[in-house]
Amino acid sequence: MSNVKRRTIVGRHTVRHRVFEVERIEWKHTDGLSFDVYDTATGALLTEESFDDEPCVTDIEDLLDRLADELDAGRLDPWFFDQPKPRTILRGWNGAYGRCRCCGLEAGPDYHLAGAVPPGENGVVCDQCWDERLR
Ligand SMILES: [Zn+2]
């Protein structure tokens, strides 16, 4: 049984070239509100802990930075996060490792280098796209 009275999308923000939706949750037995943040393209819920107040663009940026740190440290809760989704979302802008030659997203710390790539071409392949045949 759910204690949720109503869910409403109250905001839509573009942060680092991605669109995020803010959902307000009203509860049945309290006046308190909760706010969750979704990545619109994948539908991924990013707030393991909801905000108590409606998050602004800066709050969403902070949230993304926090998630990126947790992802790199391998600390994202696998029961809560569907791992490939935050990976895709966060690597679109986190610029440290170069972009994957296959999907064009940021490759991340577990990237691979493809063999048989002509000199001067990008050989970086992200772990998602990696296939032993690329070796
Ligand atoms: Zn890729």
Ligand 1 centroid from CA 32, angstroms: 41
Kindly give the distance from the C-alpha atom of residue 55 to the centroid of ligand 1, in angstroms, as a whole number: 31
Residue list, CB under 5 A from ion ligand 1: 100, 102-103, 126, 129
- Between the CA of 114 and the centroid of ligand 1 the distance, in Å, is 12
104 C-alpha to ligand 1 centroid (Å): 6
How far apart are the CA of 59 and the centre of ligand 1, in A? 28
Distance CA 89, CA 41 (A): 9
Q: Domain boundaries in the chain?
A: 1-93, 96-135
CB atoms under 10 Å from CB of 26, counted, come to: 15
The pLDDT value recorded for residue 11 is: 94
- pLDDT for 126 equals 86
Give the Å distance between the CA of 87 and the centre of ligand 1.
11
Does residue 72 sit in helix, strand or coil? helix
Q: What is the mean pLDDT of each run of 10 residues along the chain (135 residues)?
A: 91 84 95 93 90 96 91 88 81 64 80 79 85 88
Contacts with 64 (C-beta within 8 Å, 6 or more apart), sequence order: 15, 16, 46, 89, 90
> What pLDDT was estimated at residue 95?
53
